[in-house]
Amino acid sequence: MDVNKSRKRDLLQAFDLVTTKGKKTDGVYELSGVKASQDFDGYTCWLSFKDLTVTLLFHGAFDMDYEDEDTQKVFFKKISKMLDDKESY
């Protein structure tokens, strides 16, 4: 599988996990330090962790903004672990 497809799939699954199992406060869900939110119609969604924000767009595109390269690495390790352990939430 293409790394980009795998990464997109993980991001979408992480968004779903955070919004279904996370705690909702002021329209933002949070699970294990990862936050998820969306605009009013659901066409644009966001995942955030520390200084990183991922924007997920309706047609499968995504954009990632972060200050520290290590944050990106920790984020992907974190969501990978969350997805592996999703039954425990």
Per-residue pLDDT, 1: 44
At residue 37, φ and ψ (nearest 5 deg) are -150, 170
Q: pLDDT confidence of 69, banded at 50, 70, 90?
A: very high
- Rounded to 5, what percent of the chain is helix, strand, coil? 45, 30, 25
| CA–CA gap between residue 14 and residue 41 (Å, rounded) | 19
- 9: tokens are 């799939």
- Average pLDDT value over all residues in the chain: 92
The pLDDT assigned to 61 comes to 85
